Amino acid sequence: MTKRKKVAVIGGGVSGLAAAKAFDEKGHIVCGFERSHDFGGVWELSRSYPDVQTQSPKDLYCYTDHPMPDDYPEWPNGPQVHTYLHSYADKHKTARLFRLNTTIKAMERRADGEAGWTLTIEAGSHEWTENFDFVSICTGQFSEKNIITHPGQDDFVARGGSVMHSSEYTDPSLCKGKDIVVLGGSKSATDIAVNAVKNGARSVRLVYLENVWRVPYFVGGINFKRLLYMRAQEQQFNQWGKSPLQRVIAAVFTPLVWVNFRGLETLLKMQLKLKKHGMVPTTPIEKEISCSVPIVTPGFIECLDAGTIMPVMGTFDSYGSDGLKLTNGETVPCDVAILAVGWRLGVPYLPQEYQEKLIEDDGQYRVYRLSVNPDLPDMGFVGFNSSFCTVLAAEMVANWLVRFADGQLKNQPSDAAMNKNIDMMLNWKRNERPAAKVYGGLCSAPFHFKHFDELLADMGAAKKKRSNPLAEQFSYPNAEAYGTFLATTPQYQVQ
């Protein structure tokens, strides 16, 4: 008999909603905490910049039992995703489990000798401590803004200039008639650059460090989900944990794989006019594909063609009275600097002694199945397994985590087995696939199928693949199908 636990779920975004549902439906006492005034995480409206939309098609960005509405476009916008997440919370009545406007300030191992953690919690002017048997951290990878500054910034702002993180760009009217400089090369950077052009900016410059491969929504007229999300395509990348036979097979097919990716590069160079705009990457695409590969913002190439967005390789050096100086020696006019420089990974409320067990010296995270660390008992992460189908990935690992917490995995790992696997994965990321080190190594892309296969095997699923072998091999992950796979895992309820 599995004992009912009091479980803290930290974060009310995509991952927190999945974790709250998973623990609640097993019978645990769930207490959710969300620091903002609303659910949604990065999709909460006050954190969303104008024109934001998903990088993934809607049928790849949904929970297993809750498809996005038929009338949503293929790539839903921010308000639509926010509404969708609320509808999921309503469907499963998870809102009752959460306290909004509530922040976790600290966590310590319980002093009463029981398993679990004591959280220090703050809501308004009230602060208190509370014991929990298990903690599910669901703040993902986009919780803390990466704030950077450059010399002369204070004087620049005092003269009337503006500097903001990309998540703070919520009023496009500030662009009208202004010289805008966007720092970064991600999708958020190009989204904002295009939006600034549309809203009457006098000039827009995109300043970025290096050329990277970008993927358009349609590659040669074909929706990229039908080309890049297949198990067959995934198997062409250098996966972890290959057996000697798999390595031999991979070596035999290396020439064909090489031809496949060179063909894709050629197509992208032509379609996106990369050579014309001096944006051809130097790294082979198969070595670069990961969670950091941006989707091409609609209108971005057209703006490059028209000269309304000027790309500049480099970064910020300093602000001066004559403009913004860049590291390439160029000084450009700037009224508004928008820093699309991403987010800081971390769990700031976790004690330093546990931070050191979780994070290696080079920033890589020691997590088994991208969810738990054997030296951090009675806790786990949902949403650390970033991917191109983030919602499904969060739901899958949430279902895995509740079983891990309850000792109900078919393949319940020992601490030694977890550490051995973690060491193998770290070696693979550092030496065989450096692109996998992105976001502290917390990225399952492009290996969605392999990651899900492992989670389902651990859970003891009787079915892990679709009945149609062609669909399984040559189609993208199907959320509804994964719901049926989860239903074949051993079921239980806590008492």
Is pLDDT above 90 for 157? Answer: yes
Q: How confident is the model at residue 108, as a pLDDT?
A: 97
**Could you read off the pLDDT of 182-196 as tens digits, one per residue?**
999 999 999 999 999
Is pLDDT above 80 for 327? Answer: yes
User: Which range has the worst mean pLDDT, 228-237, 364-373, 402-411, 465-474?
Assistant: 228-237
d(CA 445, CA 293) in angstroms, rounded, equals 10
Please state the pTM of the whole predicted model. 0.94
d(CA 404, CA 410) in angstroms, rounded, equals 9
d(CA 231, CA 236) in angstroms, rounded, equals 9
422-441 burial, b if ≥16 CB within 10 A, otherwise e? beebbebbeeebebbbbbbb
Tokens 């960005």: give the residue: 61
How much is the mean pLDDT over the chain? 95
Structure tokens at 121: 């919690």
Q: pLDDT band for position 140 (50/70/90)?
A: confident
Q: How confident is the model at residue 345, as a pLDDT?
A: 82
Tokens 């208190």: give the residue: 128
Percent of the chain at pLDDT > 90 equals 86
Taking residues 46-75, report their average pLDDT: 92
> Distance between the two ends of the chain, CA-based, in angstroms?
7
Structure tokens at 468: 């149609």
Q: Phi first, then psi: what are they for 291, rounded to 5°?
A: -65, -20
Identify whether the C-beta of residue 417 lies closer than 8 Å to the C-beta of residue 43.
Answer: no
Structure tokens at 246: 């798999």
Omega into 446 within 30° of 0, i.e. cis?
A: yes
CA 422 to mean position of chain CA atoms: 20
Q: How confident is the model at residue 364, as a pLDDT?
A: 96
Structure tokens at 215: 């993927």
**Could you read off the pLDDT of 334-370 as tens digits, one per residue?**
999 999 998 888 899 999 999 999 999 999 999 999 9
**Could you read off the pLDDT of 246-303 as tens digits, one per residue?**
888 888 889 998 999 999 999 999 999 999 999 999 999 999 888 888 999 999 999 9
